Chains A and B, each alone.
Chain A
Amino acid sequence: MTFWQDPYAAAVEWLRNLLIGWGLTVEAAQLILYLAGGIVLAGGSLALVIFLIWAERKIIGRVQDRLGPNRVGPWGIFQTFADILKIFTKEYITPNGVDRVPYNLAPVLAVAAVIMIWAVVPFTVTLYGADLSVGLIYVMAVGAIGEMGIVMAGWGSNNKFALLGAFRAVAQMVSYEIPMVIALLIPVMMAGSLSLGAITASQAVWNILIAPLAALIFFITSVAEVGRAPFDLVEAESELVAGFNIEYSGLKFGFFFVGDFLHAFTIAMLFTVFFLGGWRGPFVDQVPILGAVYFFIKTSLVYLVNILMRAALPRFRIDQMMDFNWKYLTPLSLSVLVVTALADKLTLGLSAWVRIPVFLGLNGLLFLAASVMVNRRAINRPRAEVVSRPRPLARPETAVQPETNGGVS
C-alpha cells in the first residue's frame, strides 16, 4: 500500500513508527494516535461547519432568488468568519435563577452528541474512528445524549417557555426515533451486522435499491430528528418564539446552531453509509482513498436534497407532525420491515437481477397501498376548522370607546 493509494494509513504508520522511534512503548504510541485522531476528527468536523453554514446560506439564497452572502471575500465565502467573530464578542447573559450546571452543560452536550457519531462513521476502508460491532446502537444511544442536552437547556433556563420548547423538541425526537430505528433494521438485516463498516462493505448492491421505502423513511425521520424544515418546530423563530434555547446568548446560543448544522450533515453521512454504499465505488479496491471522495460526493448530494427541502417546504403544525409519525410512518416502517424480511428469505440464493425487481416491486406496492389508505382517510375525515378562540377585547364592537367628555362625568 503506497502513500498515493492510501495516504491516511501511510501517515498513521509513519507517525506510529516515529513515536516508537522516540522510545515510546507501542501502547503509549497507540494512545497518542487515538488522542490525535479524536482531536483531528472533532476539529475537522467543527471546521467543516464553517463551510456548511456558508454553503447553506448561499444555496438557500439562490433558491429564493437572492444572492446570499456576497460581501466578505469572494462569493462571500468568509461571511461565516465574520459571523463567528461577532458571536464571540457578544455578551454572555446568564438569567436569574438558572440551574448553572445543566444550563452551561447543555450546549456542550448538544454539539458533543453530534461529533460522537463521527467516531464510528467509516469514510474509507481504513479511515474510521472505531469500527464498533454495535455501531448502529451507538449512533442511536448518542442521539439520546443530545436529547438530554435539550432537556437540560429547557429546564436549566428557569423559563417556562424554554421548558415547553424542550418538551416539544424531545417529544418530536423521541417519536421519530421509532420509525427511524425500524427502517434502519433493514440495512442491518441485509448486512447481518450492526457495525457501520460491515454495513457499508456488504452493499455490493446499494441498499436504496433493495429498500427504497426504508431509505425514504430514514431520510424523513432523520430530518425530523435534526429539527430542520419542514420539522423545525424545535426552533420556529417566526411563530413560536424559538424554543428551548431562548435564554441563551452569544457563543452558547451559537453552539446549538453549530450542533444543528453539523447534525444535518451527519445524517447525510449516515444516509450514505446505510443506503448509498458509503465509500463503495469504482477502483476503490485498488485506491482506498478514492472511497473518501465517493463518500463525500454522495454525502453532499444527500445534504443538497436536505437543503433544498429546507428551502422549499413550509412548516408542519405539531399535530400534523405527530399524526404523520404515529399514523403513517410507524405502521409503514413496520410493514416494510416484515415484507422485506419475508422477501429476503423467499428469494434467498437467487441472483441480484431477480431479487432487486422483487424488492422494488414490493416496496412500490406497499407505498401505493399506504398512500391510498392515507388519502382515503384524509378525504373522509371530518375536518375541524383551526381558528383561535374569539377574543372579546379584540372585536371592533367591544373596543373601548374614547370618552367624548374627556373622562369628566
Chain B
Amino acid sequence: MWRFAVDMSRPVAIHVAFEVNPAHDSVVALVGPNGAGKSTLLRGLAGFFGSDQGGLTGPPWKRPLTWVPQEPTLFTHRTVRQQVQWVLGGRLDTDPELRQWVTWLDAKEFLDKKPLAMSGGQQQRAAILRALAAKPQILALDEALSQIDAPSRERISTGLQQWADADPDRLVILTTHQFADVAHFADRVLIMAAGTLLRDGTPAEIVADPRSWEVAALVGYVALLRVGDTDLALQAHDVDSVPPGQRVRVTMVKKGAHEITVRVPTHQGRELFAVRKPDGSWADSSTLDVYVRGVVVT
C-alpha cells in the first residue's frame, strides 16, 4: 500500500492525500483542468517541494518514484541511447524489459538521435523509456502522452498496464486533463481541481455518478440539470441552441439510465427548462438532482 500526501500553500495550494494498493490499482490517473495542481502534486511526490506527509520520504534520488515532467527534459547534448544507458548503468541491449519497451515505444527510430532532432511526441516517448531505465516502483507521468499519436498511445497504455501488472508493487500515476485519454485503461481516477481531490473512483463509477458539475464536466458531460429554488436551468451548449418551445430528450444517468423529457419554454427572454420524470410527472425542483447527457435528440 502506497500512501501519498502533499500539503502546501505556496507557490500553489495543494492539499491532497490518498492511498493506493498497487496490487489492486496499478494505473492511477489524476484528471483535472489546467491549473488544478496535478503537475505540482507530482513534483511534490517526486520530492522537490511541499511537505510530503505520505509514505514517500527522502531526497528525490532516493525515492522509489521516477517523475517525467510535462516539459521536455531530455538532455540536449546526448543521444537517447546515451541517456538511457547513463540511467541504467549498463547497455540498453542487455536489458530485456527495456528492449520490450523500445518496441512498445517505437523507439528504434530515435534511439541514436539527440533531442533537438526529434519531434515532441518522440521526445515524450524517449522520456518514458529513460524513466523506465531507472527501474522505479512508481512511474509518475505528467501529461506524458499528450503529444503522442493515438495508435502509439494505445500501445504505450497497454505497455504501461503490463509493466505495472508484472510486479504487485509497481504503480503508474499519470496526469491528464482529458478523462477520455485514461478512461479505458486507468484502474482508478482521482479528479482534482484547485489543489484538492473532488472525486475518487473507477472510471465507470465516476461516469455513473460524478456528484458535482466540476467532475461531470471533466468526464465528458456537456449538461447538468441544476435544481435551484425557482427554475431548472439546463446549461449545455448544444441544448442552448434549441429554439424556445421545442422538445428535447436527454438521458438521465444518475441511478440508472432513465429517460426524461425536457421542455424548453421561453422565460423573460431566456431559455429555461422544466424536466419531466420517467413516470410522466413534472420534476419537483426541491428533490431532483440529476446529471444529464446533453444530447439533443429532437
Whether chains A and B associate is no
A interface vs B, CB < 8 Å?
A: none
